[in-house]
Amino acid sequence: MDLIRMVVVLGSAIIWIPLSLYILIKTMPWVMGAFALLLRPFDKFLGKLLDRGLEAGESYFSRETGEVSFAMPGGKKLTAPFEEFDAYVERVIEAGGIFYRLMFVHRYTAKQFSQTSLSRVEPSKEEVMALWDMLQRYMDPSQPLPDVPRLEPFRHLDPVTAEHDQRVGRNPRFWRDLDLEAWKKGEGAEWLKRQVEYPWDKRRCKLTPQLGKISMEEYRKLRPAEAWPILVTWMTEQKQLSGVADTAFRATDIGPLPKSPKERTRIGDELQPYGAYANLNPYHRTVEDIDTVLCSERDDPEFYKENWWWDHQRLRFLNEKLGLKALILIVPFIWALLVLIGGLVLISWSIGTFLIPILPATAVVLTLIILGSAWIFFSFWIIPPTTNWLMINGVGLIIKPFEKTLEKKLDETLEDGCSEFNRVTGQVKFALGKGRSFEAPFVEFDAYVERVVQRGGIFYRLMFVHRYTQKQFNKTSLSNIEAEKTEVLALWDMLQRYMDVTQPLPDMPRLEPFRHLDPVTAKYDQTTGRNPRYWRDLDLEDWQKGKGAELLRSQRQHPWSRRQCKLTPQLGKVDMLTYRQQRPETASVV
């Protein structure tokens, strides 16, 4: 009897977990129906609120006016001509793998829009490309309306479409009288095949040749009066074709600076000079970058067009905020502990309850060892697939009602923790969290090699200290803790050359796809005959044995102590009151 009871308890425990998930799935519609019944007395009131919310969140593409309007927070809308928006295929990384989504970026304000009901997350990149193709044809009044089911009832109202349908003899009720299953096996299958096999990479843009043929001042006069304003400040900061901002960093032209109001003395921190370039890039970071770029290239040859964090204008990075990422990572961790520890506890309890009274001590211990060992091996075998299922289905089902809120929160978390070095403006911005940031000219930051004492010994990290407020920044994804000081020194050398607009971009793998977009770099590469795909076509192992080994040796042997700072002589040549009036308006107060 005791043995039967033990089997029943173990069987019940094993069966209950999948059974409970099944019950949740089946009962959820009933629960939502009951919830709707409770809200029925407030139907009209909630309807008004919903209408108001829908109106505030409504975006549109207007074929008639050629304008696009995107809803923004606070009830505002960004409305601008369709051709002012650049379309990107955005890569979205989720628990189930890599997915894709259509993202729109307004070219002249850098505002981006991707989280809409129009641009859904798709498992196939071709699906997103076909969506962009359909949208362009919808907005082009010289083309008939795209032949999609939602537009069928309105095709006869568009003159170009009506003429086209009459000419080709299209059935006006083709989609509404369709047998979906038969269509999927016939025309639908052919459609999908064409979509997958179409040479999307051979398309030629008709808009790019027109860029730069008119000044912004002239273009503003031609734009619709109701279009979103393009601010002069943004153009002076982000202009690419006509050069960079006057505030950009130039090591050969560092202006007068006030002295620091407080001398900083901290044992172990080494102040680094400005403008003395070794022209060396950090070896270990370069190796990491090569691996990242090669993997990204294999997945998608146009990887750099989808929210790449380093480009010819900005070098972006995150601080060490975990936020929502920690919440996501803790779910599989808890599940693994629950399976491993929970199983062992259940086995121990079952043996203690059912076997100890009927078996000798030796048999009980032997049973515990056998079952415990078997469970440990079984746990390590079952945890990976069940964790994947849990993250995709279990957690996905639970958070589905909160999907938009969580996506918004994740974007806010990333945006809130995003810092940057801006080559175009010469500004540096460090995220402080809670929507705050600290922004100041690059020359106002002193760079230190910070010693970090850990259990394994002494390590090094690049630290930035704002000279006039003493705010310090070191815990970022940019300033990793390194075992060699020369790696940190080379990182500082690389950052200075990135910010110096008189220098070509540092020859780092992450920046390679953007080198032709920076005028100084493009001219340098043309002069030296640099292969534009050097890093992306590289054999990493051969490089590490040859040129990589030379880079590491040069990095270690370079006379770093002989560098002469070009900034120090400028300190104290202007008082703080006068200097404040010269600083950019966007800079934080000093």
Q: State pLDDT tens for residues 509-561.
A: 989 999 998 899 999 999 999 999 999 999 999 999 999 999 999 999 999 99
Laid out side by side, the sheet with 472-473 consists of: 270-271, 445-454, 457-466, 472-473
Do residue 388 and residue 329 come from a single domain? yes
Q: Which ranges constitute the DSSP H helices of 432-546? A: 485-499, 519-528, 540-545
DSSP letter (8 states) at residue 446: E
Instruction: Confirm whether 113 is domain-assigned.
Output: yes
Q: How many residues does the chain have?
A: 590
Instruction: Confirm whether 562 is domain-assigned.
Output: yes
Instruction: Confirm whether 292 is domain-assigned.
Output: yes
Rounded CA gap, 73 and 415, in Å?
A: 15
Rounded CA gap, 497 and 506, in Å?
A: 6
DSSP letter (8 states) at residue 345: H
Do residue 40 and residue 67 come from a single domain? no
- Scanning the structure block, which residue is given the tokens 């970071």? 285
Do residue 64 and residue 48 come from a single domain? no
Instruction: Confirm whether 213 is domain-assigned.
Output: no
What does the pLDDT average to over 19-29?
66
On whether the CB atoms of residues 89 and 100 are closer than 8 A, the answer is yes
Work out the angle between the directed axes of helices 125-139 and 187-197 (0-180°, nearest 10). 100
Last residue of a domain, one of 407, 437, 469: 407
Q: How many CB atoms lie within 10 A of CB 51?
A: 10
Rounded CA gap, 306 and 87, in Å?
A: 10
* pLDDT beyond 50 at 223: yes
* pLDDT beyond 90 at 219: no
Lowest-confidence pick of 18-27, 275-284, 488-497 = 18-27
| Tokens read off for 230 | 């393009």
- Scanning the structure block, which residue is given the tokens 């997915």? 99
Q: What is the pTM of this model?
A: 0.51
Confidence of residue 322 (pLDDT cuts 50, 70, 90): very low
DSSP letter (8 states) at residue 390: I
The count of domains in the chain is: 4
Instruction: Confirm whether 222 is domain-assigned.
Output: no
| Tokens read off for 220 | 């503003």
Do residue 69 and residue 111 come from a single domain? yes
| Tokens read off for 535 | 């890093």
pLDDT above 90 coverage of the chain, percent: 31
Confidence of residue 49 (pLDDT cuts 50, 70, 90): low
Q: Which domain holds residue 376?
A: 324-407
Rounded CA gap, 291 and 308, in Å?
A: 15
Do residue 435 and residue 485 come from a single domain? yes
> pLDDT tens for residues 452-487?
888 888 999 999 999 999 998 887 778 888 999 999
* pLDDT beyond 90 at 168: yes
